[in-house]
Chains A and B, each alone.
Chain A
Amino acid sequence: MHPALQGLLTIIIGVGGCVGYFYFSNQFLDKVLFPARGPNAGSNISRANMIRPWLFLGPAIIALGLYLAYPVFETIRLSLTERVRDDYAWVGLENYSRMLGEPKFWEALKNNMLWLIIVPAASTAFGLLAAQLTDRIGWGNAAKSLIFMPMAISFVGASVIWKLVYDTRPVEQQQIGILNWIWLKFEGGFWSVIFLQIVPAIILLAFAALIAYACYNFAKPLWNNRRTGPGRIMPVRVLVAVGGIWLVFLSLESLLSLFTDELVFGKPQTWLTVPLWNSFFLMIVLIWIQTGFAMVILSAALRGIPEETVEAAIVDGANPFQIFFKIKVPQIMGTIVVVWTTITLVVLKVFDIVFAMTNGQWETQVLANYMFDKLFRANDWGVGSASAMVIMLLVTPILVWNVYSARKEMK
């Protein structure tokens, strides 16, 4: 049978089956099992109403249980066993220790950490910038929908799009990748210094200053005895402060290397094979996709800010930058956190981009691709499951936080 026909049939069977199931199970409950007639009509109705929710929920619970809950536990089990022909032998933590011994795993973990810091930060920052700017002009909505557009493009499509940008031709041929074409315009003269050293240096310095300032504000309660929040989040404050200091250190270090490194002018670069930099070139693809998402959400949040607060600031003589950073941003902090965590989740699962562009070569490996490699190339289910558990472990704090805030909201 032709697959399209099979698809049509499945839609009919699936939809018909679902409707049929819901209709007839309700009929059965009301007419046959607990009919609302006879001597026990009252108690029958209440009994039927006790069972009905489970009829409604049944298919969903089965699907969720089978396709999401069961695999979590099965993966834990698989990560502790080894496949011996058709059987599974208990090996304890051996898969994990084998995984920890592989340099590829550490490379993937290190890259994932870089992705986790840079992609959500950059996407949120660009999104906030775009939201704030487009809200103030007439053609803002058109601009928004164009910036939002990459959301509809598949990761694979985006990879092809950006591969053309990064394309490299031998030096004697015309460059068809825009990045190399621009690169070849630099020849070490005045403009090269401006664009390749001064401008990046300013950006890096600004970034370091911003991080340092944010961390300072966040960690202030540690030495101020004035406790502003519950004591439980103290460890979080310490963690954020340490992460911030590390970031500041990293950016200052790269600032130094900016001026000490020799730049190879006049030579087309194969961007995706330069270690460390290539990870950044892959991240740009995801930032390009996710900025639109951040912009849409943050723009709605910005519109929800009460006018009075902004007006009061204007009356007090605040300038536009002060209004933005001191009045608006603090009021949408909650939304920024939501956007940040949502993008973090996307980053943790990023697979297609790396798979399509470098397949983890030249030190661009990430966890999801490492796992795919282990599962389907090396056929090593033990280590593959173990690395899946690492991804799960990284997701868990967000999971707990989501459940916690959802429950708080329900009360």
Chain B
Amino acid sequence: MDGIAGKKPGLVWAVHISVFLLVLLWLFPTVGLLISSFRTADQISNSGWWRSMFHTEQNFTLRTAPPSEQVHDGGLYVIEGNLFGEGKDAEISVWGISSREISAFQPGDTAELRRGGEITVQSNGDYRLTNFEAFSGSRGPRVFATAKTPPEFTMANYVTVLTGGSSDGGMAKAFFNTLTVAIPATIIPILVAAFAAYALAWMEFPGRALLIAAVVGLLVVPLQLALIPLLKLHNGIGIGKGYLGIWLAHTGFGLPLAIYLLRNYMVGLPKDIIENCKVDGATDFQIFTKIVLPLSFPALASFAIFQFLWTWNDLLVAKVFLIDATGETTVMTNHIVELLGTRGGNWEILATAAFVSIAVPLVVFFAMQRYLVRGLLAGSVK
């Protein structure tokens, strides 16, 4: 194939460009959310995230300093300052003092306020309010400005989401809850499955083929079927909703894949080693712990990654077996769904919360991609 492509440089370029476009298309949505999580609420709602890298022209609704800061200067009451606050590099192109005419004035123009007095706004946002009588009220007048602002990013959203209460995000608690669910639910099935997989791979006993077939069959049973009967069972034996219940449930649901993956791997281990050990008088238990388990590390790692991603990302099992009416044990996925309902328009909270929950799986994914791919191949290619 390379030979042909080499003869036609046009085709090679076409391949490069189409792969580039495909990758771009696939990354685009995620990048959008990532960038949004570093922008302020105002920025998000004023311009699309794809324009955040450039100087953007936005409409701002700003206020001058309140009348409490006015100074008396030679018969005039004056309020001075910068509309954008200090240290922001913005350039106003037009401005106005009414929401109906936001582009009535040029920078440097002077406008008469309805409540009396005059305001002058410079292109960098400096303003000067003057009046013969004292300004009254608690807030300064509004100024509508269309300005070019440089790209600006902030970590404030992450601080809010991680430290705030549950209405602001409250992701810290949900994060630890998710971790509490995921780690035991990953480790316990591995151990149980490894022993079973060894028996199915290297021990002779009647009914072995039937058991393997059963595992393959259970591999595809939708866990939807298990929800009600198991909830009933858990309530019946007094576990109720809680961590123990969800650990057990994840263990049960993860076992078929674990046994299937590990058995397929163990069957492929060299027969000589195991038979030599048997001849030397090793028991099955010793062979398993000293020979088979260390050799199966790649398969164990593959399954561990699968199970970790699955338990971390799960919503349904957590909703049914863990989260009770108090909501104390909420996990991140559930919390994000609730935020979608209550704060659907607050993208700065949503985007940040989503990224807090996505971060750990992404790290695991990029660090251990090799094992993940190997597991996928062992699990589905026959």
Chain A interface residues (CB < 8 Å from chain B): 3-4, 6-7, 10-11, 14-15, 18-19, 22-23, 26, 30, 49-50, 52-54, 56-57, 59-61, 63-64, 66-72, 74-75, 78, 129-130, 133-134, 136-137, 140, 143, 145-157, 159-165, 167, 169, 173-178, 181, 288, 291-293, 296-297, 300-301, 310, 314, 320, 323, 334-335, 338-339, 342, 345, 348-349, 351-352, 355-356, 368, 371-372, 375-376, 381, 384-385, 388-389, 391-392, 395, 398-399, 402-403, 405-407, 409-410
Stretch in B109-117, B133-141, B182-190, B269-277 touching the partner: B182-190
5 nearest A-B pairs in the assembled complex, by CB-CB distance: A67-B252, A154-B313, A60-B196, A152-B365, A74-B229
- Interface pair B229/A71, CB less than 8 Å apart: yes
- Interface pair A407/B253, CB less than 8 Å apart: no
Q: Which residue of the partner chain A has the closest CB to B360?
A: A152
Q: Which residue of the partner chain B has the closest CB to A9?
A: B184
- Interface pair B315/A375, CB less than 8 Å apart: no
With contacts A56-B199, A143-B19, A176-B45 taken as known, whether A153 is within 8 angstroms of B224 at the C-beta atoms is: no
Q: Which residue of the partner chain B has the closest CB to A149?
A: B365
Interface residues of B in 15-49 (CB under 8 A from A): 15-16, 18-20, 22-23, 26-30, 32-33, 36, 44-49
Least CB distance, B281 to chain A, in whole angstroms:
10
- The CA-CA distance from A178 to B32 in the complex, in Å, is 9
Stretch in B65-73, B161-169, B215-223 touching the partner: B215-223
Least CB distance, B382 to chain A, in whole angstroms:
7
Q: Which residue of the partner chain B has the closest CB to A332?
A: B381
A68 CB contacts on chain B under 8 angstroms:
218, 221, 226, 252-253, 255-256
- The CA-CA distance from A385 to B199 in the complex, in Å, is 35
Partner of A60, one of B212, B259, B283, B319: B259
B33 CB contacts on chain A under 8 angstroms:
160-161, 164
- Interface pair B213/A407, CB less than 8 Å apart: yes
Stretch in B83-91, B294-302, B329-337 touching the partner: B329-337
Q: Which residue of the partner chain B has the closest CB to A56?
A: B199
Assess whether B327 is interfacial by the CB under 8 Å rule: no
- Interface pair B183/A7, CB less than 8 Å apart: yes
Partner of A381, one of B4, B45, B228: B228
Q: Which residue of the partner chain B has the closest CB to A23?
A: B285
- Interface pair B313/A147, CB less than 8 Å apart: no
Partner of A288, one of B26, B32, B376: B26
- The CA-CA distance from A183 to B198 in the complex, in Å, is 57
Contact-residue size bin, chain B (C-beta under 8 Å from the other chain): 35 or more
Stretch in B74-82, B151-159, B347-355 touching the partner: B347-355
A398 CB contacts on chain B under 8 angstroms:
220
Given contacts A49-B284, A52-B199, A300-B381, 17 further A-B contacts (CB under 8 A): A4-B179, A10-B243, A11-B187, A15-B188, A18-B192, A56-B196, A63-B251, A68-B253, A137-B16, A157-B354, A164-B32, A174-B48, A300-B377, A314-B4, A368-B222, A391-B225, A407-B209
Partner of B27, one of A23, A78, A146, A160: A146
- The CA-CA distance from A26 to B283 in the complex, in Å, is 9
- Chain B residues touching A, majority SS: helix
- Interface pair A133/B44, CB less than 8 Å apart: no
- Interface pair B364/A152, CB less than 8 Å apart: yes
- The CA-CA distance from A368 to B308 in the complex, in Å, is 23
Partner of B337, one of A10, A61, A355: A355
Q: List 10 A-B contacts (CB under 8 A).
A: A3-B177, A56-B284, A57-B199, A61-B196, A74-B232, A352-B316, A371-B224, A395-B220, A406-B213, A406-B216
Assess whether B312 is interfacial by the CB under 8 Å rule: yes
- Interface pair B195/A402, CB less than 8 Å apart: no
Partner of B219, one of A150, A335, A402: A402
- Interface pair A154/B229, CB less than 8 Å apart: no
Q: Which residue of the partner chain B has the closest CB to A76?
A: B225
- Chain A residues touching B, majority SS: helix
Partner of B183, one of A11, A18, A173, A368: A11
Interface residues of B in 320-374 (CB under 8 A from A): 320, 329, 333, 336-337, 340, 347, 350-351, 353-354, 357-358, 361-362, 364-366, 369, 372-373
- Interface pair B381/A338, CB less than 8 Å apart: yes
- Interface pair B252/A63, CB less than 8 Å apart: yes
A348 CB contacts on chain B under 8 angstroms:
222
Assess whether B279 is interfacial by the CB under 8 Å rule: no
B193 CB contacts on chain A under 8 angstroms:
60
With contacts A176-B47, A349-B222, A381-B228 taken as known, whether A146 is within 8 angstroms of B23 at the C-beta atoms is: yes
Partner of B203, one of A11, A18, A56, A399: A56
- Interface pair B337/A156, CB less than 8 Å apart: yes
Q: Which residue of the partner chain B has the closest CB to A75?
A: B225
- Interface pair A15/B200, CB less than 8 Å apart: no
- Interface pair B283/A30, CB less than 8 Å apart: yes
With contacts A56-B203, A60-B255, A345-B220 taken as known, whether A133 is within 8 angstroms of B15 at the C-beta atoms is: yes
Interface residues of B in 236-284 (CB under 8 A from A): 243-244, 247-249, 251-253, 255-256, 259, 283-284
Partner of A176, one of B20, B223, B320, B347: B347
Least CB distance, B292 to chain A, in whole angstroms:
11
- The CA-CA distance from A352 to B316 in the complex, in Å, is 7
B179 CB contacts on chain A under 8 angstroms:
4, 7
Q: Which residue of the partner chain A has the closest CB to B372?
A: A151
Partner of A57, one of B18, B181, B200: B200
- The CA-CA distance from A50 to B284 in the complex, in Å, is 12
Partner of A178, one of B50, B376, B381: B50
- Interface pair A399/B29, CB less than 8 Å apart: no
Q: Which residue of the partner chain A has the closest CB to B230?
A: A71
